[in-house]
Amino acid sequence: MPSPRRFVLIDRDGTVNVEKHYLSDPDQLQLIDGVGAALRRLSQAGFGIAIITNQSGIARGYFNLERLDQIHARLTQMLEAEGVRLDGIYICPHGPDDDCACRKPLPGMAKQAMAEHGFDPKLSTVIGDKEVDVELGQAIGAATFLVRTGHGEKYAASSKADHVVADLPAAVDIILGEI
Protein backbone atom coordinates (compact mmCIF):
# COMPACT_ATOMS: atom_id res chain seq x y z
CA MET A 1 0.00 0.00 0.00
CA PRO A 2 1.48 3.39 -0.97
CA SER A 3 2.58 5.77 1.75
CA PRO A 4 0.20 8.69 2.33
CA ARG A 5 3.26 10.94 2.50
CA ARG A 6 3.59 13.16 -0.55
CA PHE A 7 7.00 13.54 -2.18
CA VAL A 8 8.68 16.31 -4.11
CA LEU A 9 11.39 15.15 -6.51
CA ILE A 10 13.74 18.00 -7.28
CA ASP A 11 16.48 18.46 -9.86
CA ARG A 12 19.77 19.64 -8.36
CA ASP A 13 21.78 21.90 -10.67
CA GLY A 14 20.01 25.11 -11.57
CA THR A 15 17.05 24.28 -9.31
CA VAL A 16 18.49 23.80 -5.80
CA ASN A 17 22.01 25.12 -6.37
CA VAL A 18 23.42 27.73 -8.72
CA GLU A 19 24.18 26.22 -12.12
CA LYS A 20 27.89 25.60 -12.65
CA HIS A 21 28.96 23.87 -15.83
CA TYR A 22 29.56 20.30 -14.59
CA LEU A 23 29.94 21.21 -10.92
CA SER A 24 32.93 19.20 -9.71
CA ASP A 25 34.14 21.12 -6.65
CA PRO A 26 32.15 21.00 -3.39
CA ASP A 27 33.50 24.46 -2.52
CA GLN A 28 31.72 25.91 -5.59
CA LEU A 29 28.33 24.66 -4.39
CA GLN A 30 26.01 27.58 -3.71
CA LEU A 31 22.30 27.31 -2.89
CA ILE A 32 19.93 29.47 -4.90
CA ASP A 33 18.48 32.22 -2.71
CA GLY A 34 15.49 31.09 -0.69
CA VAL A 35 15.86 27.37 -1.44
CA GLY A 36 16.73 26.32 2.10
CA ALA A 37 13.73 28.12 3.63
CA ALA A 38 11.40 26.78 0.91
CA LEU A 39 12.53 23.19 1.41
CA ARG A 40 12.18 23.60 5.18
CA ARG A 41 8.55 24.71 4.65
CA LEU A 42 7.91 21.59 2.54
CA SER A 43 9.46 19.38 5.18
CA GLN A 44 7.49 21.03 7.99
CA ALA A 45 4.30 20.41 5.96
CA GLY A 46 5.15 16.68 5.94
CA PHE A 47 6.47 16.29 2.41
CA GLY A 48 9.26 13.91 1.54
CA ILE A 49 12.09 15.56 -0.41
CA ALA A 50 14.44 13.81 -2.80
CA ILE A 51 17.00 15.11 -5.27
CA ILE A 52 17.02 13.44 -8.71
CA THR A 53 19.99 14.45 -10.83
CA ASN A 54 21.62 13.48 -14.10
CA GLN A 55 25.39 13.56 -13.56
CA SER A 56 26.89 12.80 -16.97
CA GLY A 57 30.09 14.53 -15.85
CA ILE A 58 31.01 11.13 -14.40
CA ALA A 59 30.60 9.34 -17.74
CA ARG A 60 32.44 12.20 -19.45
CA GLY A 61 35.39 11.85 -17.03
CA TYR A 62 35.06 15.34 -15.50
CA PHE A 63 34.81 13.90 -11.98
CA ASN A 64 34.25 10.55 -10.27
CA LEU A 65 31.68 9.09 -7.89
CA GLU A 66 33.87 9.88 -4.87
CA ARG A 67 33.93 13.56 -5.85
CA LEU A 68 30.16 13.51 -6.41
CA ASP A 69 29.72 12.01 -2.93
CA GLN A 70 31.75 14.94 -1.54
CA ILE A 71 29.52 17.42 -3.37
CA HIS A 72 26.41 15.70 -2.03
CA ALA A 73 27.84 15.59 1.50
CA ARG A 74 28.34 19.37 1.29
CA LEU A 75 24.83 19.86 -0.13
CA THR A 76 23.41 17.77 2.71
CA GLN A 77 25.35 19.85 5.28
CA MET A 78 24.20 23.12 3.72
CA LEU A 79 20.57 22.03 3.73
CA GLU A 80 20.77 20.63 7.27
CA ALA A 81 22.09 24.04 8.38
CA GLU A 82 18.81 25.40 6.94
CA GLY A 83 16.77 22.82 8.87
CA VAL A 84 16.21 20.48 5.90
CA ARG A 85 16.80 16.73 5.83
CA LEU A 86 16.68 15.09 2.41
CA ASP A 87 15.01 11.70 2.11
CA GLY A 88 17.40 10.75 -0.66
CA ILE A 89 19.68 11.79 -3.48
CA TYR A 90 19.31 9.74 -6.66
CA ILE A 91 21.84 10.01 -9.46
CA CYS A 92 22.28 8.88 -13.03
CA PRO A 93 26.03 8.72 -13.73
CA HIS A 94 25.54 7.82 -17.39
CA GLY A 95 26.08 9.86 -20.52
CA PRO A 96 23.37 10.83 -22.99
CA ASP A 97 24.36 8.04 -25.40
CA ASP A 98 24.48 5.31 -22.76
CA ASP A 99 21.61 2.86 -22.75
CA CYS A 100 20.32 3.25 -19.20
CA ALA A 101 16.88 3.42 -17.61
CA CYS A 102 17.77 6.13 -15.12
CA ARG A 103 18.74 9.17 -17.17
CA LYS A 104 16.01 11.80 -17.16
CA PRO A 105 13.51 11.93 -18.77
CA LEU A 106 13.36 8.16 -18.16
CA PRO A 107 11.79 7.31 -14.79
CA GLY A 108 14.53 5.12 -13.27
CA MET A 109 15.56 7.49 -10.47
CA ALA A 110 11.94 8.27 -9.61
CA LYS A 111 11.11 4.55 -9.55
CA GLN A 112 14.05 3.96 -7.21
CA ALA A 113 12.76 6.68 -4.88
CA MET A 114 9.22 5.23 -5.04
CA ALA A 115 10.53 1.74 -4.23
CA GLU A 116 12.49 3.02 -1.22
CA HIS A 117 9.81 5.33 0.17
CA GLY A 118 6.57 3.76 -1.05
CA PHE A 119 4.88 6.97 -2.17
CA ASP A 120 2.22 7.39 -4.83
CA PRO A 121 3.75 9.15 -7.85
CA LYS A 122 0.37 10.65 -8.74
CA LEU A 123 0.47 12.57 -5.45
CA SER A 124 4.05 13.71 -6.03
CA THR A 125 5.60 16.71 -7.70
CA VAL A 126 8.68 17.07 -9.90
CA ILE A 127 10.55 20.40 -10.03
CA GLY A 128 13.41 21.20 -12.39
CA ASP A 129 14.98 23.68 -14.77
CA LYS A 130 14.89 21.56 -17.93
CA GLU A 131 12.17 19.99 -20.00
CA VAL A 132 13.58 16.51 -19.19
CA ASP A 133 12.50 17.14 -15.58
CA VAL A 134 8.99 17.97 -16.78
CA GLU A 135 8.94 14.88 -19.01
CA LEU A 136 10.03 12.70 -16.08
CA GLY A 137 7.18 14.08 -13.99
CA GLN A 138 4.72 13.41 -16.78
CA ALA A 139 6.03 9.86 -17.20
CA ILE A 140 5.18 9.04 -13.57
CA GLY A 141 1.94 11.03 -13.45
CA ALA A 142 3.27 13.73 -11.09
CA ALA A 143 2.54 17.44 -11.07
CA THR A 144 5.34 19.33 -12.80
CA PHE A 145 7.08 22.65 -12.30
CA LEU A 146 9.67 24.29 -14.54
CA VAL A 147 11.73 26.92 -12.71
CA ARG A 148 13.28 29.82 -14.62
CA THR A 149 16.56 29.52 -12.69
CA GLY A 150 19.47 27.55 -14.16
CA HIS A 151 18.57 26.60 -17.74
CA GLY A 152 14.84 27.13 -17.19
CA GLU A 153 14.43 30.42 -18.98
CA LYS A 154 15.25 28.86 -22.36
CA TYR A 155 12.52 26.23 -21.89
CA ALA A 156 9.88 28.46 -20.29
CA ALA A 157 8.01 29.62 -23.41
CA SER A 158 7.47 26.12 -24.81
CA SER A 159 7.39 24.04 -21.63
CA LYS A 160 4.67 21.46 -21.11
CA ALA A 161 4.99 21.86 -17.32
CA ASP A 162 1.86 22.29 -15.23
CA HIS A 163 3.47 25.43 -13.80
CA VAL A 164 6.31 27.67 -14.98
CA VAL A 165 7.60 29.70 -12.04
CA ALA A 166 10.47 32.00 -11.15
CA ASP A 167 12.25 29.60 -8.80
CA LEU A 168 11.93 26.77 -6.29
CA PRO A 169 10.46 29.00 -3.55
CA ALA A 170 7.69 30.07 -5.97
CA ALA A 171 6.96 26.40 -6.72
CA VAL A 172 6.75 25.63 -3.01
CA ASP A 173 4.32 28.54 -2.52
CA ILE A 174 1.98 26.92 -5.07
CA ILE A 175 2.43 23.39 -3.69
CA LEU A 176 1.65 24.48 -0.14
CA GLY A 177 -1.23 26.63 -1.34
CA GLU A 178 -2.85 23.56 -2.92
CA ILE A 179 -2.91 21.34 0.17
pLDDT in tens, 113-127: 999 999 999 999 999
List the strands of the sheet with 143-147, edge to edge. 88-92, 48-54, 7-10, 125-128, 143-147, 163-165
Domain range summary for the chain, segments of one domain joined by +? 7-177
Is 133 noted as a catalytic residue in this protein?
Answer: no
Pick the catalytic residue: 13, 87, 129, 167? Answer: 13
What CATH class has 7-177? alpha beta
* 123-143 confidence digits (pLDDT tens): 999 999 999 999 999 999 999
Is 99 noted as a catalytic residue in this protein?
Answer: no
How far is residue 98's CA from residue 110's CA, in Å, rounded to a whole number? 18
Pick the catalytic residue: 11, 87, 133, 167? Answer: 11
